[in-house]
Amino acid sequence: MDTPIINILLLVTDGERPIDWSDHTSLRVWQDKECMPPALQLDIIVSDSPQLPRDALADSRLQDRTQFGLILVGCQSAEFAADVHLPADATSREMQLACQLLGALVQQRRLQRHRAGEFQMLEQWALQDPLTGLPNRRAWDQQVQQLSSTSAPLSQPVCLVILDLDKLKDANDTRGHDAGDAVLLAAASGLRSALRASDFAARWGGDEFALLLLNVPPQHAHAIVERIRAATDRQINEQTDQPVTLSAGLVSIAAGTPFQAESYWQQADAALFHAKQSGGHCSVEHSSSGWQTK
């Protein structure tokens, strides 16, 4: 396996300082950052003056201090935390060894950050609906699990909502699945615009969306859901010109009540079924006094 090249920027006030790099082909030394290729990934700066690295960091390529190591030779800096300090009389061999070890460490850390970023991206993709960009059913399940993981009563009221697109199948059948996808995208956009930062919306699957509205007083929940539903309806109409609307089923859970996810989902789903049976394009609340329709 080829030895990785370690790119070193040498910033020294003593231009006559004899440093022999010739016996280490893995070390590539640049005497001037202006000579460095634009896409070069620098690994180490070696300097005998704190001022020179400070000036070099004005370069946009060097502003991320976590991406390279710093070796100071015969000096200290209160501004920069050097990774390695060498005495002013350090030999070429000591300089080379320090660069090799620090360069390998910098490259390893960079690789670890890259892999962590990739893992985070994969995690995000696993919880995101690829079409709408909303959280998917798996993300919804995680969010609900957080609320129901303890039997302790809720500290604030919660409204659980299931939304279903009316006549989406007709749009798919008459104008193709691209038209249906456009409706789903418009619905997601409408929900994002209508919801608060504290609310949670997910594409639960197919033509259904699910919402968790936090800290919504039960007496106002139905009116709030109807406003969200109507606003999303308008967004669909404006963006797609399709005769597709939304139906909503909701259940409101008061503060001081344990969150029983499966039970409340069934209640909201029953309310949604009632809305669909009533012709759609409305919201129905499940309550102890019966179905409430808006």
CA dist., res. 235 & res. 164, Å (int): 15
- Which helix H or strand E contains 8, and what residues bound it? strand 6-11
CB neighbours (10 Å) of residue 179?
18
Active-site residue among 43, 199, 207, 233?
A: 207
Do the beta carbons of residue 214 and residue 135 sit within 8 Å? no
207 catalytic residue (yes or no): yes
Secondary structure letter of residue 227 according to DSSP: H
DSSP of 129-186: -TTT-SB-HHHHHHHHHHHHSS-SPPSS-EEEEEEEEETHHHHHHHH-HHHHHHHHHH
Question: How many other CB atoms are found less than 10 A from the CB of residue 34?
Answer: 7
Looking up tokens 């300097």, which residue turns up?
47
The helix-helix angle for 218-240 and 177-194 (nearest 10°) equals: 140
Residues 143-168: b if buried by 16+ CB within 10 A, e if exposed: bbeebeeeeeebeebbbbbbbbbbbb
CA distance 227 to 294: 10
Could you list the active site residues?
207
